[in-house]
Amino acid sequence: MPGSTIAIALEGAELRVNVGEHAWEKHPQHPTRLRVNLTLVFDYRAYHERHGGYVDYDPLRSFLKALENKPHVNKLETLARQILDAAFTTTPADRVQLSLSKPDIFPEMDGVGLRIDVAREDLA
């Protein structure tokens, strides 16, 4: 994706999801707090010419909220892949940057998580 870009950022989402491999994360009555930041990156010219200068991100927002009602997933990487798949399925983004953090996992840290930056063509 050479040249200029434009990005849509969904920042600071906080969800309660059933995710984690630790014993204390496997209780559905106490879901894990998860912070999500998601950036959808587009080729600047294509965004305006092909997409009319607008992309509806509401379906992606709805997908994120629905994660709160999904069954337990052991690995944060699995949940990240589900979010990436949804981002590319519900939007024409060329690239997605995703940050997931579990802020309550260890008391000595602000959070533990993942940061992923992936192009559409690289998501196999």
Residue with tokens 């997931």: 100
> What's the predicted TM-score (pTM) here?
0.92
Note the pLDDT tens digit of each residue in 36-85.
999 999 999 989 988 788 899 999 999 999 999 999 999 999 999 999 99
Q: Say how far apart CA 85 and CA 73 lie, in whole Å.
A: 16
5-122 has which fold?
GTP Cyclohydrolase I, domain 2 (3.30.1130)
Note the pLDDT tens digit of each residue in 95-113.
999 999 999 888 898 889 9
Domain borders along the chain are 5-122
Residue with tokens 């892949």: 81
Q: Say how far apart CA 72 and CA 80 lie, in whole Å.
A: 14
